[in-house]
Amino acid sequence: MANIYKNEKTSLTNTDLTTLYTVPSNSRAIVKSLLVTEDNAGTAVVKVTLVDAAAAVFAVDNDVNLTANEKEQVLNEPLIMKESEILKVQASSGQVDVIASILEINREDR
């Protein structure tokens, strides 16, 4: 079993729903932090969703409002993710950077 500390990041430059992180099929994950930052002197509303292995969609936060150059920590507590679950993000407008700090727990010997 291996613990893998990692970060996943993306810049949202359009309104598309974007995959930020997918848990490998042989792992579980703990998302410790999810930071969103508006970095284009505009405004944006960010939506964060969790999609489970059966493709059911769950809202983590539907209404993260950002003003010009503002940052927001989306998670107050760690988020546990199971095998093959997907963390997705979407911004209504503006340019938004998203960074997730993750502990991935791989069940295979390395």
pLDDT tens for residues 54-84?
999 999 999 999 999 999 999 999 999 999 9
CA-based diameter of the chain, in Å? 47
Contact 97, 37 (CB under 8 A): yes
Contact 22, 81 (CB under 8 A): no
Overall size of the chain counted in residues:
110
pLDDT category, 110, cuts 50, 70, 90? Answer: low
Determine what percent of the chain is predicted with pLDDT higher than 90.
Answer: 88
pLDDT in tens, 5-48: 999 999 999 999 999 999 999 999 999 999 999 998 889 999 99
Task: Kindly tell me the burial class for residue 32, based on how many C-beta atoms sit within 10 Å of its own C-beta (0-12, 13-18, 19 or more).
Answer: middle
pLDDT category, 93, cuts 50, 70, 90? Answer: confident
Tokens of 14: 């359009």
Q: What is the pTM assigned to this prediction?
A: 0.93
Per the model's pLDDT, the better-predicted residue between 94 and 31 turns out to be 31
Domains present along the chain, CATH in parentheses: 2-106 (2.60.120.1330)
SS3 for 9-76, per residue? Answer: EEEECCCCCEEEEECCCCEEEEEEEEEEEECCCCCEEEEEEEECCCCCEEEEEEEEEECCCCEEECCC
